[in-house]
């Protein structure tokens, strides 16, 4: 489904360059539920951005569903994002002036699906995340957990090959986080391929495979119980994400 080989990415920094990802190899099969773990600066967000075609890489290769993702024009990249990828962000990234159902329907707007049809589809997906009654509410009328479920519904509406979630529980309390991970689990059971980036061991523990990044290389890769997540040095991250209200 997703194949990365010898991937390198660096950012210019002063005179030199910050080498964020070094010769990275990663394979993810369809239907997997993967978490990418790492402390701040480990390169996990950069990796996610590349996976999401939100950013370029320097060398190596990344192919998604057999399509090489490399040096795409912005136009092509936008179309591939819409076709292959669903995003769930830490800060939700819902458009504040659109209702829940309109937010969910937005990716279909860029597919030129007629309004009635896409709103009907969006309502189905909202129902699936248990928010059908909240369809006509604006994001600021929803709780953090509800917003994130709207975002999940939005990420699923195009039937993407993979769902990429960047610290999806970063702004949520423990109980809501647990519920969200439960939702991901359900979706995964129904066949969705999900990649979650997180620095929280207990979130990673709820996925089926953990890829641990340290300084831009994969330090460990396996089932969560094999990796003794709770006892690693990762427990105290360099920074904590500010939870939104």
Partner 1 sequence: MIDIDRYREIVDSLRTAKLRTFATALSVAWGIFMLVILLGAGRGIQNGVANNFRDDATNSLWLYAGRTAKAHAGYGVGRRIEFDMRDFDALLQSVEQIEYATGRFYLSGQFTVRFGSNVSSFDVRATHPDHQYIEKSIITAGRFINETDLRQRRKIAVLGPKVVEQLFGRRDPIGKWIDVNGAAYRVVGTFTDDGWQSELSKIYIPITTAQTVYGGGERIHQIMFTIHDASPETARRIESQVRRLMSARHDFAADDERAMRVRNNVERAEKIMGLFAGINFFIWIVGIGTILAGIVGVSNIMLISVRERTKEIGIRKALGATPRTIVSQIVVEALLITSISGYLGMTVGLGVIELVARYAPKNDYFMNPEANLTVVVAATVLLIICGVLAGYFPARLAARIQPVEALRAE
For partner 1, the binding residues (CB under 8 A) are: 49, 52, 54-56, 74-75, 78-79, 81-83, 87, 89, 93-95, 97-98, 106-107, 109-112, 114-115, 154, 158
Cα separation, 52 vs 119, in Å, equals 25
Kind of pairing, strands 162-166 and 85-88? parallel
What is the closest distance, in whole angstroms, from the C-beta atom of residue 110 to partner 1 in the complex? 4
Q: How far is CA 67 from the centre of its chain?
A: 19
What is the closest distance, in whole angstroms, from the C-beta atom of residue 89 to partner 1 in the complex? 7
What is the closest distance, in whole angstroms, from the C-beta atom of residue 194 to partner 1 in the complex? 17
Residue 166 and residue 46 in contact, taking contact as beta carbons nearer than 8 Å? no
What is the closest distance, in whole angstroms, from the C-beta atom of residue 197 to partner 1 in the complex? 14
Residue 98 or 178: the one with the smaller Cβ distance to partner 1 is 98
What is the closest distance, in whole angstroms, from the C-beta atom of residue 226 to partner 1 in the complex? 33
Cα separation, 21 vs 213, in Å, equals 9
Kind of pairing, strands 193-198 and 33-37? parallel
Residue 70 or 111: the one with the smaller Cβ distance to partner 1 is 111
Residue 145 and residue 174 in contact, taking contact as beta carbons nearer than 8 Å? no
Residue 79 or 219: the one with the smaller Cβ distance to partner 1 is 79
Cα separation, 121 vs 69, in Å, equals 29
Q: Is 83 left (phi over 0), alpha (psi -120 to 50) or beta?
A: alpha
Residue 92 or 224: the one with the smaller Cβ distance to partner 1 is 92
């Amino acid at each position: 489904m997703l194949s990365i080989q010898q991937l390198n990415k660096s950012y210019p920094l002063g005179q030199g360059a910050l080498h964020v990802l070094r010769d990275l190899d990663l394979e993810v099969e369809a239907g997997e539920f993967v978490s990418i773990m790492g402390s701040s600066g480990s390169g996990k967000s950069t990796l996610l951005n590349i996976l999401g075609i939100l950013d370029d890489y320097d060398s190596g290769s990344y192919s998604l569903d057999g399509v090489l993702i490399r040096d795409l024009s912005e136009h092509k990249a936008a179309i591939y994002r819409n076709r292959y990828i669903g995003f769930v962000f830490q800060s939700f990234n819902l458009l504040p002036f659109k209702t829940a159902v309109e937010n969910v329907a937005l990716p279909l707007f860029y597919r030129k699906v007629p309004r009635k049809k896409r709103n009907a589809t969006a309502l189905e997906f909202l129902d699936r995340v248990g928010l059908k009654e909240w369809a006509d509410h604006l994001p600021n009328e929803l709780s953090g957990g509800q917003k994130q479920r709207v975002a999940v519904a939005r990420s699923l509406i195009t039937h993407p090959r993979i769902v990429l979630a960047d610290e999806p529980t970063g702004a949520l309390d423990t109980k809501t986080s647990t519920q969200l991970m439960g939702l991901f689990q359900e979706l995964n059971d129904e066949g969705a391929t999900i990649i979650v980036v997180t620095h929280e061991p207990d979130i990673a523990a709820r996925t089926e495979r953990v890829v641990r990044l340290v300084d831009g290389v994969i330090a460990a890769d396996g089932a969560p119980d094999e990796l003794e997540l709770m006892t690693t040095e990762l427990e105290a991250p360099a920074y904590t994400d500010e939870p939104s209200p």
